[in-house]
Amino acid sequence: MDAISVIRTKRDRGRLSDAQIDWVIDAYTRGEVADEQMSALAMAILLNGMEREEIARWTAAMIASGERMDFSSLPRPTADKHSTGGVGDKITLPLAPLVAACGAAVPQLSGRGLGHTGGTLDKLESIPGWRALLSNDEMMDVLRSVGAVICAAGDGLAPADKKLYALRDVTGTVEAIPLIASSIMSKKIAEGTGSLVLDVKVGSGAFMKNLEDARELASTMVGLGTDHGVRTVALLTDMSTPLGLTAGNALEVRESVEVLAGGGPADVVELTLALAREMLDAAGLPDADPAKALADGSAMDHWRRMVAAQGGDPDAPLPTARERHTVTASASGTLTRLDAYAVGVAAWRLGAGRARKEDPVQAGAGVELHAKPGDRVTAGAPLLTLHTDTPERFDYALEALAGDAIGIADTASAEPTPLILDRIA
């Protein structure tokens, strides 16, 4: 078999055979297929798509490129969650200990932020001493003792995906839905969880800008999970406005702790509980009550134990930025728009995010919101507070918030967009 024949098959809108898929993934992982050849194949997939059977086989081949984890020895059913990424999306932080407090085990393998979307590991690393890198044995120990772990995926899980993802990032093929779906699901299936809940974001701050594309991605991923024996469900959730009132690493940890303490912004609480109920139902624990676990302090107890088990100090003060700048409302009225993408870019430019995976981030940088769409605001009152250690970044961040990123009207706008847009199972 050779790379050129595989490329030509997909270029000419043909269906790749199982043998072709198995060979090209294995050969690319070993370096026998060159980057330029895999780039051509990825572009052909972007332009011509793949059938469900092709995507399932492609995903299986990426899983087979590395190791698979096994949680069958745990005394609890396992449930995991994956978000396609957004602005202020700190949901994993309160969600994992909450679901653990209700009786499931949560092996949450998470990633770092890139561009305007934040990364769960970056947020947690703002906690003094906390470690993202755990061995498989350490991960199992935390799951047995606490019930939840949030850590980085090891290099042994789906190495083909790691190599292909980096290539797609620089060849304009990130948007290919078959490749997005197989990238996410190969890692999650290899991780070994028994059930999976997907949070597919829709809107300006999300990768999927419209509901139609989000439904296609969600349906593809749910199908992949089902085909591989993982009970999978997806919620489509709004990302036109940031989640909660913060976007930035330590800022979001602080807000997550507020949720675990029984407070926090209403939208963060709503989505955390909705995803918790889906995870518990998928894990075979439909009668568990996550709202009760938030109210009685058991979720907070699991959070503190989880942080401590990974070397962190749950009582240590979180980092704060040295410099702040307040953005005030330009007029009195109803806040009708606070664009998620603009806020995410502003937080990124302040130092909360990175342009390349190896770039450092500032733990205290980010954007704090003082109002959300639908709230009444007064001219001159604080609307946003920008946080950074490097004040020369303020002007660059403010550029992202210019134009139509913020909207204020004299009268109240129409009913706000619901947070949960659809459910696919």
Catalytic residues: 82, 161, 168, 183, 187
Q: Which long-range contacts (CB under 8 A, 24 or more apart) does 35-39 make?
A: 35/167, 37/3, 37/4, 37/7, 38/3, 38/164, 38/167, 39/167, 39/171, 39/173
Map residue 408 onto helix, strand or coil: strand
Residues 6+ apart with CB under 8 A from 354: 112, 113, 114, 115, 348, 360, 361
Measure the CA–CA gap between 347 and 199, rounded to whole angstroms: 22
Say which residue the tokens 């190495």 belong to: 159
DSSP string covering 337-368, please?
A: EE-HHHHHHHHIIIIIS-SSTT----TT-EEE
Q: What is the DSSP string of 65-80?
A: TS-----TTSSS-B-E
- Cβ atoms 43, 131 nearer than 8 A: no
Asked whether the beta carbons of 54 and 16 are under 8 A apart, the reply is yes
Q: Which residue has the tokens 């996550």?
A: 290
Question: What span, in angstroms and rounded, lies between the C-alpha atoms of 152 and 316?
Answer: 22
Angle between helices 159-169 and 35-48 (to 10 degrees): 80
How far apart are alpha carbons 353 and 367 in whole angstroms? 12
Strands 420-424 and 231-238, sheet pairing = antiparallel
- Residue by residue, DSSP assigns 137-153 as HHHHHHHHHTSEEEEEP
151 with 280: CB under 8 angstroms?
A: no
Contact 330, 408 (CB under 8 A): yes
